[in-house]
């Protein structure tokens, strides 16, 4: 066991954990943050995505002890009980179907929009390509990203 300090959604948490514990397990089991999902556990689907220092990171293959910097989970997007524009766009476009992948879709979209405030279709396709959705919500995801981009830059 070792002592690990994580900065998550504006708070600081110090935990005694096995240093190899995936960040996903710590977020869900120790910090009770259920936004990030366990999908493949292999870094291939994106369901477990969180944002670390602005980048979309797969928390299932990231040891918690290796994380430096600020972690944002889905729970950290809304501020003062007001939805983030990306969350609102997801609602307006009625993106989710079963919902399982949507944590990864939304957080990957956030990292994309932070990097490209006005993304082209190609940038959206490239940026979102590795976040899998077996309900095939991809077209609605693209529409929601464009809606969010407009809202965030209006």
Give the range of 10-18, 45-53, 67-75, 112-120 binding ligand FES by CB under 6 A: 45-53
Give CA–CA dist 51/81, Å, rounded: 20
Element (H, E) at 11: strand 11-17
Which one, 118 or 144, has the nearer CB to ligand FES? Answer: 144
Residue 100 binds to ligand FES (criterion: CB under 6 A): yes
Residue 41 binds to ligand FES (criterion: CB under 6 A): yes
Q: Within 10 Å of residue 13's Cβ, how many Cβ atoms?
A: 15
Write down the least CB distance from residue 112 to ligand FES, Å: 17
Residue 98 binds to ligand FES (criterion: CB under 6 A): yes
Residue 139 binds to ligand FES (criterion: CB under 6 A): no
By three-state DSSP, how is residue 47 classified?
Answer: coil
20: Cβ–Cβ under 8 A, 6 or more apart, which residues?
A: 63, 65
Nearest-5° Cα angle at 38, 60 to 149? 85
Give the range of 2-10, 11-19, 94-102, 109-117 binding ligand FES by CB under 6 A: 94-102
Could you list the residues that contact ligand FES (CB under 6 A)? 38-41, 43-48, 58, 60, 96-102, 133-135, 137
């Amino acid at each position: 066991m070792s002592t690990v300090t994580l900065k998550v959604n504006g708070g600081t948490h110090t935990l005694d954990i096995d240093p190899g514990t995936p960040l996903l397990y710590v977020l869900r089991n120790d910090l009770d943050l259920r936004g990030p999902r366990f999908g493949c556990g292999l870094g291939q689907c994106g369901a477990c995505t969180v944002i670390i220092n602005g980048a979309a990171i797969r928390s299932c293959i990231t040891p918690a002890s290796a994380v430096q910097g600020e972690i944002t989970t889905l729970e950290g997007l809304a501020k003062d009980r007001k939805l983030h524009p990306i969350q609102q766009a997801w609602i307006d476009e009625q993106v989710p179907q079963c919902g399982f992948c949507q944590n990864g879709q939304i957080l990957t979209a956030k990292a994309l929009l932070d990097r490209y405030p006005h993304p082209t279709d190609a940038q959206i396709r490239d940026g979102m390509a590795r976040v899998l959705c077996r309900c095939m919500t991809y077209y609605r995801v693209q529409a929601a990203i464009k809606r969010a981009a407009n809202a965030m830059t209006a």
